[in-house]
Structures are given as C-alpha cells and as structure tokens.
Amino acid sequence: LASAVAAIGGLRGSHGLSASDREELLATADESLATLSTLVTDLLDVSRVQAGVLAVSSSRMDAAGCVLAAVDELGLGPSDVELALDPDLPPLHADPVLLLRVLVNVIANAHRHSPDDTRVIVSTSALGDRAEIRIIDRGEGVSPERRDRIFQPFQRFGDTDNTTGLGLGLALSRGFTEGMGGTLTPEDTPGGGLTMVISLPLAAGPRDTEGTE
C-alpha cells in the first residue's frame, strides 16, 4: 500500500518526469495494488475458512492438469520441478480453483525452502479410494513439534523479513483441502526435507457433481 501511494503521489507531481520514469511509477503502482488485492483476498479466505463458510464447488477433474497449471503459474521449469505423475490415476473429486491455489502455495513453499542444487518433486498416485499428491523437497524440514504451527496464519518458518508474505499460504492450503473433503499432511522426506501430502477423494462415478459445499 505504501509503495502504491508513493508511486501515485509521484505521478501527481510528475512535472518534468521522463516517459520512462512515468512508466516505472505506473508499473510500481500496478504491481503493488495487485499484491494488495491478493493479500486482501487471502485474508478474506482465511476468515471464511475459520468461520466454516468456504464455498466449494467440486467436480471430476484431472490431477495432472492441475499440477501442470500450478507449475506454469509459478514460472518453474524442469530445473526446478521434477514431475512423477501417474498416467493411470483416475479423476479426482475436487474444486479445480481451490486445488490450483493449494498446489501453487505448497509448491512455491517447497521451492523456496529447497537448496539451489535440488529440485522439488511432485508425484501423484492412488491409495484405495483416494488420490495422493506429494510435494517433496530437500530443505531443512520441519520438526514434529512445529508441524501444527506451520498451518496457523501468520507463520513464516525460517523467514527474517516481510518479502515472502504474511504466512497465509499453508493455512489457506489446509483449509481449502479440508473443505474439499481432503487432508494436507506434512511428513519427513527420507534423507532430509519435508513432504506435503495432499489426499483427496477419487471421483466415484462418471457424472460431475456440482455445487458441493
């Protein structure tokens, strides 16, 4: 907000500014307001999750397509993420919009905490009547006594400044996942690191189910 206000103030008193300076101020205002909009949306969603009024619209959907969309949204490539997607995994029963936000948050968190010479692994598999999406990193991991805390709002494990947000991502991810009838569970990565396991129900039949809450 401060950055946007400063940029707009600079534009109002823009006598003598070059075209490039004006473009830079406009870009700053645009980026800052977009970030603020995202933050407000996250805060509203946290309040909806905590109040138990999150709107969920689940249907049959493809897990692999959602994983690929999340990786693309984050701008990550083969040097950042290794995909191990089960081509025979049946469709999930989930909300595509919410699942995409969960995957973006969890993959971004794993990438942020991964050493530079390692890749995040995203795998999918079936376990009984449920699907599991695993996001695996080789970072420092999280001790068992801290695992519940990382899902609380405003927790930013290992961060020393405000450049990585307010720590709402994992809180929202668990709330969204549970709203879809799933679970988000942290596990140790064998050899070191953290594995986030998203478990969701497989679609039971051939017809979409809409309006589920």
Q: For position 42, what pLDDT does the model report?
A: 66
Number of domains in the chain: 2
Chain segment 173-193, per-residue pLDDT in tens? 898 999 899 999 999 999 999
pTM over 0.85: no
Q: What is the pLDDT of residue 17?
A: 79
pLDDT of 68 reads 97
Q: Which residues contact 64 (CB under 8 A, 6 or more apart)?
A: 85, 87, 89, 124
Q: Is 174 strand, coil or helix?
A: helix
For residue 90, the model assigns a pLDDT of 95
* pLDDT the model gives residue 154: 59
85 in the same domain as 38: no
Whether 157 and 111 share a structural domain: yes
Task: Assess whether 16 and 87 both reside in one domain.
Answer: no
Within this chain, do residues 133 and 173 fall inside the same structural domain, yes or no? yes
- 38 and 82 both lie in a single domain: no
CA nearest neighbour of 186 among 177, 196, 176: 196
For the chain, list residues with pLDDT below 50.
158-166, 207-213
Tell me the residue range of the domain where 6 lies.
2-51
SS3 18: coil
- Has residue 72 been placed in a domain? yes
Q: 181 lies in a domain?
A: yes
Q: Tell me: do 134 and 154 sit in the same domain.
A: yes
Q: Report pLDDT for 151.
A: 74
CATH code of residue 87: 3.30.565.10
Contact 168, 154 (CB under 8 A): yes
Is there a domain that residue 206 lies in?
no
Q: Are residues 34 and 107 in the same domain?
A: no
